Structure 1
Amino acid sequence: MTELTGPLVAECATWLTIVTKLFGTRMQVLLEPHDLTQGQFSILHHIARQPPGQGVRISDIAAAVEVEQPAVTKTIAKFQVMGLVDTVASPKDKRAKLVIAKPDAGMLLGKIYQDIGPDLMQVFGAVDGDGVGQFIAQLKQLGQWLDANRL
């Protein structure tokens, strides 16, 4: 097992920052034809992953995707116009609205992945084929740790 050292941690942080920026820019270009920003895509993805018919509060969406609540509210309004979501009053909290994905939300996500799939195949094809499973496992582990230890 490799021992973590200051220089190794610095190199990891540097490359993670570079890759995050490069991948984010690439995703923005790929999402542009679908009239979605990365933040909107993350919000839609979060809503669509909920169990069918189960709503999620706007404040919970904002916390999950690390976007300010007014931006989520504005995005939800856009998604309503696009026919992707419905909002209903929360039965537990009269002040809260629950956002529920409509079938078109999943269909749009499927279309987006179909459209960006060839590019993503090239991107992830750059990772050693034998190591891609391990790469995914490590990304997932890092993501879960970061999610559980948010600042």
Structure 2
Amino acid sequence: MTDTDGRGAPSSAAVARLRLVIARLYRQLAQASNDDLNLTYAQLSALARIQEHGPLRLGELAAYEQVAAPSLTRTVAPLAAAGLIAKQPDPSDGRSWLVSVTAQGSDVLDRIRRRRSELLARRMARLDAGQLDALLAALPALEQLLTEPQPAAGDAPGDREDAGARR
């Protein structure tokens, strides 16, 4: 089996293999940091995004998370109930609220990140020098994979340029 399709593009088998490795590794990292709060992926993502960009209006957070505002409201309600985020009135618009991460929320995120990093560090320590060098050399390429914008809901991946014309 080759890793390319003969034209330099990755083979479908190589793409599937990479996808599976990333998904399984993420699942293992998530399980290793499972917390008493049993936060969902969406809740953790929202909490981290609030910490990174907050204080935020829920509409801004929904845009960052690429979800509808009502869906996000259901996501953040348990975070507020658990004391991980705080809501305060928006001083520039009395009809809106701002959400920010509490000290407890920051502690939870720090603990989760630490546990995930510890697991990954242990796994990386088992690699031989050549494997570790290859993994570290792949980091810029993997980071580049994160930069492609996500298609809007309902858009096919190849229809991105046409999406604006349809709206």
Instruction: Say yes or no: does 1:77 pair with 2:80.
Output: no
Decide whether the 8 Å contact of 1:31 with 1:38 is kept in 2.
Answer: no
* Corresponding residue to 1:134 among 126, 132, 137: 137
Distance (Å, rounded) in 1 between the aligned partners of 2:51 and 2:103 = 9
> How far 1:117 moved relative to its partner?
3.1
* Cα distance change of structure 1 residues 126 and 30 upon mapping to structure 2, 3 Å threshold: same
SS of aligned partner of 1:32: coil
Structure ID, larger Rg: 2
Distance 2:17 2:103 in 1: 38
Q: Contact between 2:58 and 2:97, CA under 8 Å: does it hold in 1?
A: yes
Q: How far off its partner does 1:143 sit?
A: 0.5
- 5 Å-filtered alignment, 1:40-79, equals 40-50=43-53, 54-79=54-79
- 2:28 partner amino acid: R
Gaps of 5+ in 1: none
| 1:38 aligned residue | 41
CA distance in 2, matches of 1:57, 1:126: 44
Q: Letter of the 1:22 partner, please give it.
A: R
Q: Which 10-residue stretch deviates more, 108-117 or 22-31?
A: 22-31
Matches of 1:31 and 1:78 in 2, distance apart?
19
Q: Deviations over 1:95-134 (max 9, x none)?
A: 4322111222221111112333332224445772213333
RMSD of equivalent CA atoms = 3.0
Q: Does the 8 Å CA contact 1:58/1:73 hold for their aligned counterparts?
A: yes
Secondary structure of 1:8's match? coil
* Alpha-carbon separation, structure 2, partners of 1:99 and 1:122: 35
CA distance in 2, matches of 1:115, 1:104: 17
In the alignment, the residues of structure 2 paired with residue 13 and residue 94 of structure 1 have an alpha-carbon distance, to the nearest angstrom, of: 49
Q: Secondary structure at the match of 2:99?
A: strand
Where 1:137 maps in the other structure, the secondary structure is helix
Which of 15, 18, 21 lines up with 1:19 in the alignment?
21
- May I ask how many residue pairs the two structures share in their alignment? 144
Separation in 2 of the partners of 1:36 and 1:120? 20
Matched residue of 1:104: which SS? helix
The alignment's TM-score, normalised by the length of structure 2, stands at 0.67
Q: Deviations over 1:17-76 (max 9, x none)?
A: 3134313432442343341122211111111112xxx41122222232334433321232
Tell me the percent identity.
Answer: 22
Quick check: 1:24–1:38 contact (8 Å CA) kept in 2? no
SS in structure 2 at match of 1:88: strand
